[in-house]
Amino acid sequence: MRVACKVMLSDDERKALIRWSRGKSTAARLVFRATIVLLASEGMKNKEIAAHIGTSRQSVGLWRSRFIQKRLAGIEKDAPGRGRKPTKRNRVVRLILERTTQTVPANATHWSVRTLAKELKVNPTMVHRIWKANGLKPHLIRTFKVSNDP
């Protein structure tokens, strides 16, 4: 039978975990993780913590071990590499940027998200995200007005 590692907290760690577990504006996943670690530090078993919080023993074990390995930083942020990696976006980023900055559409003064997406046969959301990531706003034209006031 495996036994979970004991969780020993310093005073600073305990204060941070209590603040996170009670915070009204703290992310729900951080409240969840902090609560697990606090209950583990009180000597509760994974099975008891899981029943108390309403989650699985595997989830409790994951966050307990992650805290023991990396302390507060281990539960504060998600592990890197989570989620699906963009595939098509990486192929068309250069093309979208080039087309936006170097060309002008027929019968228009600038590209819109929809016209560029239709031209390149991609999703308009993808065009918008790439523009936003690169600070492009083709619809905004910088001009100034010379005052006639003497």
pLDDT tens for residues 36-47?
888 888 888 888
What's the pTM value of the predicted model, to 2 decimals?
Answer: 0.53
pLDDT tens for residues 84-119?
777 777 788 889 988 888 888 888 888 889 999 999
**Cα separation, 38 vs 64, whole angstroms:** 10
**Cα separation, 147 vs 150, whole angstroms:** 8
Place of tokens 């027929």: 106
Is residue 77's pLDDT more than 90? no
Q: What is the predicted pLDDT for the residue at 3?
A: 67
Write phi, then psi, for 43 (nearest 5 degrees): 95, 5
Where is average pLDDT lowest: 35-39, 60-64, 76-80, 143-147? 143-147
Could you tell me which CATH number the domain at 11-76 has?
1.10.10
For the chain, the domains span 11-76, 88-134
35: left (phi over 0), alpha (psi -120 to 50) or beta: alpha
